[in-house]
């Protein structure tokens, strides 16, 4: 393979922005994603993502599950070019039960767009996702959507953000009127108005009509506002406040730039995108057990943050999604899976360009590639071209809800095993055997109840296996390491159940916190771990 010129590598890194949109369901994430693609020229007629989502919605009994899977399944990561930048958008599943998946997704991005519904402000899911983004120290840009709706009060939205999230909100633009009197947004630093012109529900890009302060055309538009003085006073007030923007504070997550607009009406998108590519940071260095790996390190490295099976029901395929962390990825390259020590050749690769799924020949830090996975990857695996190291901090999770999975048709045991193996490798559930050979009913664990329902649904629809879930009264799991004889003696303890994880490692399930504490105190020579020591 040709060596890469350092200048080419740094130019590719500098061009890239990899981010996720965090929001509460219905704030407009699908619509905004679609509009970003439209502005990037990646799709020509907006509506495709929506149409697919709507079709699924209509035909499914499992509305919530299917709705969740709608966009996420087909587009875990989308890539598009905007001006001279390449943007990767990673999808974050919205439902609270999918927080683990989201957690890992946010490990693979460099910044976050927090999308709010202007009439609703901060909603529970926004808050939860915001906390994860903050924990990951990601810079956050805010887009307040639906300014064409009644009931949008920009000042109280800003103070709600500051009060609830404890982050300084700095407006970059300001809505001119709201609801039916919405006229556009005022670019605060350029002191120019971007005048809203209704487009046919967003099928085409809207060209902003930009008017300068004092322009008679602007005056006559402002004169149509129900309260022109209020708008002028607001803008005057904003200029008095200390809204000076310090990029360092933004990158440190102390402030969030705020933009207003309407995704549905293609309004404020361009102003936002133009600012976003300047504000959002390029790919970062990732911590590893050999120290931080900077993106411009010449050899390729990346990690698996998501595994998704059956993306296309027609093809029983499975993909591992990799975030490229350093160097250049070239199809057919040989790498080592540092986690398993196995050499690999990376040949079957995909990327999602708008609606299209395409083969990836080359990728750079910040890019997301899907690798066809014959079952060799696990979440958190590090891939290295040269040298061996492990990226740190991709969390595996400790389930809090357990159920016994009962197979309705005993002849389908093989199918069940295959389904459970694949779904467990996606990382949404964990599977435990009650005996080392897995002959008795399996116990499945998840973070939330919906995940267990999704499991049952997918086993039936994707693997043709009918199952029943029976609650078991355990609510926490601990991986156990230490003297095997001592571990064995744990078996008969009251209020605990000894099981094995998929790798055969011993795990204990506990009925409650009290039972856990009792066992931890009684067996000081055994160590108890909240997540698998492997992960
Ligand atoms: P998601 O659940 O966050 O992906 O939200 P969607 O993109 O599906 O949008 C939820 C609803 O809000 C849909 O009916 C959209 O048409 C609507 N919507 C999205 N953006 C806007 C907007 O700017 N203005 C108005 N009035 N409605 C919007």
- CATH number of the CATH domain containing 315: 2.40.30.10
14 located within any domain? no
26 located within any domain? yes
Q: What is the pLDDT of residue 55?
A: 37
- Based on the fold, state whether residues 239 and 324 are members of the same structural domain: no
Domain count, the chain: 3
DSSP letter assigned to residue 114? E
Q: What is the pLDDT of residue 94?
A: 54
- Based on the fold, state whether residues 250 and 352 are members of the same structural domain: no
- Based on the fold, state whether residues 326 and 272 are members of the same structural domain: no
| Alpha-carbon span 354 to 374, nearest angstrom | 26
| Alpha-carbon span 486 to 491, nearest angstrom | 9
189 located within any domain? yes
- Based on the fold, state whether residues 351 and 378 are members of the same structural domain: yes
| Alpha-carbon span 351 to 357, nearest angstrom | 6
CA of 494 to the centre of ligand 1 (A): 52
| Alpha-carbon span 20 to 93, nearest angstrom | 10
- Based on the fold, state whether residues 374 and 500 are members of the same structural domain: no
Q: Examine the fold and report which residue of 226, 248, 282 is the final residue of a domain before the chain moves on.
A: 282
82 located within any domain? no
Q: Examine the fold and report which residue of 350, 384, 418 is the final residue of a domain before the chain moves on.
A: 384
User: Of the residues 31, 64, 148, which should be mutated to test ligand 1's pocket, given the most ligand atoms within 8 Å of the CB?
Assistant: 31
Ligand 1 atom nearest to 24, measured from its CA: 3
CA of 36 to the centre of ligand 1 (A): 14
- Based on the fold, state whether residues 168 and 310 are members of the same structural domain: no
Ligand 1 atom nearest to 263, measured from its CA: 23
Ligand 1 atom nearest to 53, measured from its CA: 8
Q: What is the pLDDT of residue 68?
A: 45
Tokens of 159: 């103070």
- Based on the fold, state whether residues 247 and 332 are members of the same structural domain: no
- Based on the fold, state whether residues 239 and 300 are members of the same structural domain: no
25 located within any domain? yes
- Based on the fold, state whether residues 318 and 178 are members of the same structural domain: no
Is 438 marked as binding a ligand?
no
Q: Examine the fold and report which residue of 247, 267, 282 is the final residue of a domain before the chain moves on.
A: 282
- Based on the fold, state whether residues 155 and 291 are members of the same structural domain: no
Which residues lie closer than 8 Å to 255 by C-beta, 6 or more apart? 167, 168, 169, 170, 245, 246, 249
- CATH number of the CATH domain containing 494: 3.30.70.3280
Length of the chain as a residue count:
535
- Based on the fold, state whether residues 406 and 504 are members of the same structural domain: yes
| Alpha-carbon span 113 to 32, nearest angstrom | 11
CA of 181 to the centre of ligand 1 (A): 19
Residues near ligand 1 (Cβ within 6 A)? 23, 25-31, 145-146, 148-149, 262-265
3 located within any domain? no
80 located within any domain? no
Which residues lie closer than 8 Å to 143 by C-beta, 6 or more apart? 32, 113, 114, 115, 116, 259, 260, 261, 268, 272
Q: What is the pLDDT of residue 186?
A: 94
Tokens of 150: 């009644």
Q: 77: closest CA among 33, 40, 46, 115?
A: 33
In DSSP terms, which residues pair with 534 in a beta bridge? none
Q: What is the pLDDT of residue 39?
A: 85
CA of 149 to the centre of ligand 1 (A): 11
Q: Please give the helix or strand (H or E) that residue 176 lies within, else none.
A: strand 173-176
Quote the pTM value.
0.79
- Based on the fold, state whether residues 259 and 201 are members of the same structural domain: yes
171 located within any domain? yes
> pLDDT by residue for the chain (535 residues), tens digit each?
667 888 999 999 999 999 999 999 899 998 898 888 888 876 544 334 444 444 333 332 333 444 444 333 344 688 889 999 999 998 776 555 455 667 788 899 999 999 999 999 999 889 888 988 998 899 999 999 999 998 889 999 999 999 999 999 999 999 999 888 899 999 998 999 999 877 665 556 666 788 998 899 999 999 999 889 999 999 998 888 777 899 999 999 999 999 999 999 889 999 999 999 999 999 999 999 999 999 999 999 999 988 877 666 556 677 888 999 999 999 999 999 998 889 999 988 877 665 566 788 899 999 999 888 887 888 888 999 998 999 986 655 667 789 999 999 888 889 999 899 888 877 778 899 988 776 788 999 987 777 788 889 889 988 999 999 999 989 888 888 888 888 877 766 668 888 998 888 889 999 988 888 888 888 888 888 877 765 4
CA of 534 to the centre of ligand 1 (A): 41
Ligand 1 atom nearest to 33, measured from its CA: 7
User: Of the residues 22, 24, 26, 91, which should be mutated to test ligand 1's pocket, given the most ligand atoms within 8 Å of the CB?
Assistant: 26
Q: What is the pLDDT of residue 313?
A: 56
Tell the residue number behind the tokens 């009792």, with chain if given.
518
User: Of the residues 22, 28, 267, which should be mutated to test ligand 1's pocket, given the most ligand atoms within 8 Å of the CB?
Assistant: 28
Q: What is the pLDDT of residue 522?
A: 87
Is 381 marked as binding a ligand?
no
Q: 480: closest CA among 531, 432, 428?
A: 531
- CATH number of the CATH domain containing 168: 3.40.50.300
Is 246 marked as binding a ligand?
no
Residue 163 three-state SS: helix
| Alpha-carbon span 67 to 64, nearest angstrom | 5
Q: Which residues span the domain enclosing 258? A: 21-74+95-103+110-282
Q: 243: burial class by Cβ within 10 Å (0-12, 13-18, 19+)? A: middle
DSSP letter assigned to residue 312? B
Ligand 1 atom nearest to 267, measured from its CA: 23
Phi-psi map region of 34: left, alpha, beta (phi>0 left; psi -120 to 50 alpha): alpha
Q: What is the pLDDT of residue 200?
A: 60
Residue 77 three-state SS: strand
Is 147 marked as binding a ligand?
yes
């Amino acid at each position: 393979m040709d060596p890469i010129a350092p200048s080419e590598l740094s130019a590719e890194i500098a061009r890239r922005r990899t981010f996720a949109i965090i929001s509460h369901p219905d704030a407009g994430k699908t619509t905004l994603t679609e509009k970003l693609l439209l502005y990037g020229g990646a799709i020509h007629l907006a509506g495709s993502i929506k149409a697919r989502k709507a079709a699924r919605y209509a035909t499914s009994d499992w509305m919530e599950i299917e709705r969740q899977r709608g966009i996420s399944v087909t587009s875990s990561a989308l890539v598009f070019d905007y001006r001279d930048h390449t943007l990767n958008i990673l999808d974050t599943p919205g439902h609270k039960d999918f927080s683990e998946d989201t957690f890992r997704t946010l490990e693979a991005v460099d910044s976050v767009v927090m999308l709010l519904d202007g009439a609703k402000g901060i909603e529970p899911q926004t808050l939860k996702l915001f906390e994860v983004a903050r924990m990951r120290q990601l810079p956050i840009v805010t887009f307040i959507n639906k300014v064409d709706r009644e009931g949008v009060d920009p000042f109280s939205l800003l103070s709600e953000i500051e009060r609830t999230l404890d982050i300084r909100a700095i407006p970059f633009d300001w809505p001119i009127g709201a609801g039916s009197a919405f006229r556009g947004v005022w670019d605060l630093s350029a002191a120019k108005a971007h005048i809203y012109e209704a487009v046919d529900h967003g099928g085409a890009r809207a060209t902003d009509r930009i008017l300068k302060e004092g322009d008679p055309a602007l005056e006559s538009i402002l004169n149509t506002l129900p309260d022109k003085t209020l708008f002028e006073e607001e803008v005057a007030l904003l200029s008095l406040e200390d809204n000076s923007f310090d990029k360092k504070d933004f990158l440190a997550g102390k402030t969030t730039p705020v933009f207003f607009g309407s995704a549905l009406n293609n309004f404020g998108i361009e102003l936002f995108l133009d600012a976003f590519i300047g504000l959002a940071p390029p790919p970062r260095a990732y911590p590893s057990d050999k120290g931080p790996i900077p993106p411009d390190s010449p050899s390729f490295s990346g990690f698996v943050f998501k595994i998704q099976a059956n993306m296309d029901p027609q093809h029983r395929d499975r993909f591992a999604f990799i975030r490229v962390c350093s160097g250049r990825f070239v199809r057919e390259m040989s790498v080592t899976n540092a986690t398993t020590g196995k050499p690999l050749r990376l040949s079957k690769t995909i990327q999602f360009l708008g609606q299209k799924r395409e083969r990836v020949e080359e990728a750079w830090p910040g890019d997301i590639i899907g690798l066809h996975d014959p079952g060799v990857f696990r979440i958190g695996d590090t891939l290295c071209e040269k040298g061996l190291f492990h990226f740190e901090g991709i969390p595996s999770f400790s389930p809090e809800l357990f159920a016994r999975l009962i197979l309705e048709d005993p002849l389908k045991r093989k199918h069940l095993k295959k389904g459970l193996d694949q779904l467990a490798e996606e990382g949404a559930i964990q599977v435990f055997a009650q005996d080392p050979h897995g002959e008795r009913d399996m116990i499945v664990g998840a973070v939330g109840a919906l995940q267990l329902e999704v499991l049952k649904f997918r086993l039936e629809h994707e693997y043709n296996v009918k199952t029943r879930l029976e609650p078991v009264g355990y609510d926490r799991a601990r991986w156990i390491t230490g003297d095997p004889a001592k571990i064995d003696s744990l078996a008969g303890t009251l209020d605990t159940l000894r099981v094995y994880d998929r790798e055969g490692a011993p795990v204990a399930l506990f009925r409650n916190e009290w039972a856990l504490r009792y066992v931890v105190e009684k067996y000081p020579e055994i160590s108890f771990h909240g997540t698998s020591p492997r992960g």
